């Protein structure tokens, strides 16, 4: 075996390695596009109310305490499956009433428990937030959270 690399050998390694990684990049990009379009989003359309609910979620920094599909802080429960846990996933009106009751009952004042601050949201904001959480609950969460309690 030769102990010296020739210019031709170095050029072939460079071009071959570049081509190899470009093919991997193109393949992963195509796979990501296919996955996002066909599997990672809910089959239901993204309505104006869902978009408003996402804005309510962001403006009030809910993710600073809660997690959504495992992303966020772990101070408060996961909310990616909260509508399933409450049994209101298929009833937007019941989801709205349950979420409104929960938000308006905060803080509970129970000693030794973490307290959620009282957010003074309008009924429209609470309805939009419940629509957003229903939408999030129906997306493909790939088994997250690992248990029903979040």
List, for residues 64-79, the tens digit of each pLDDT value. Answer: 999 999 889 989 899 9
| Averaged pLDDT for residues 8-32 | 97
Which of 2-11, 22-31, 108-117 has the largest mean confidence?
Answer: 22-31
Residue with the two structure tokens 């959620």: 116
- Of 16-25, 39-48, 76-85, 117-126, the range with the lowest mean pLDDT is 39-48
pTM of the model: 0.75
Give the whole-angstrom CA distance, residue 148 versus residue 146: 7
| Averaged pLDDT for residues 47-54 | 95
Q: Does domain 48-138 have CATH number 3.30.70.100?
A: no
pLDDT at 42: 58
Domain extent listing, the chain: 1-39, 48-138
Give the whole-angstrom CA distance, residue 93 versus residue 75: 28
The DSSP bridge pattern shows strands 67-68 and 71-72 to be: antiparallel
| Averaged pLDDT for residues 113-139 | 93
pLDDT at 35: 85
Contacts of 78 (CB under 8 A, 6+ apart): 66, 67, 68, 69, 70, 144, 145, 150
């Amino acid at each position: 075996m030769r102990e010296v690399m020739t210019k031709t050998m170095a050029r072939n390694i460079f071009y071959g390695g570049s081509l190899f990684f470009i093919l991997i990049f193109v393949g992963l990009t195509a796979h990501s596009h296919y996955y996002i379009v066909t599997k990672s989003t809910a089959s239901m359309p993204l309505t104006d109310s869902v978009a408003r609910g996402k804005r309510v979620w962001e403006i009030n920094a809910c993710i600073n305490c809660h997690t959504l599909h495992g992303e966020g802080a772990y101070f408060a429960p996961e909310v990616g499956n909260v509508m399933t846990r409450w049994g209101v996933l298929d009833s937007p009106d019941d989801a709205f009433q349950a979420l409104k009751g929960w938000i308006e009952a905060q803080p509970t004042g129970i000693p030794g428990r973490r307290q959620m601050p009282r957010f003074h949201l309008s009924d429209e904001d609470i309805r939009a937030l419940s629509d957003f959480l229903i939408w999030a609950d129906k997306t493909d969460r790939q088994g997250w959270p690992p248990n029903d309690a979040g």
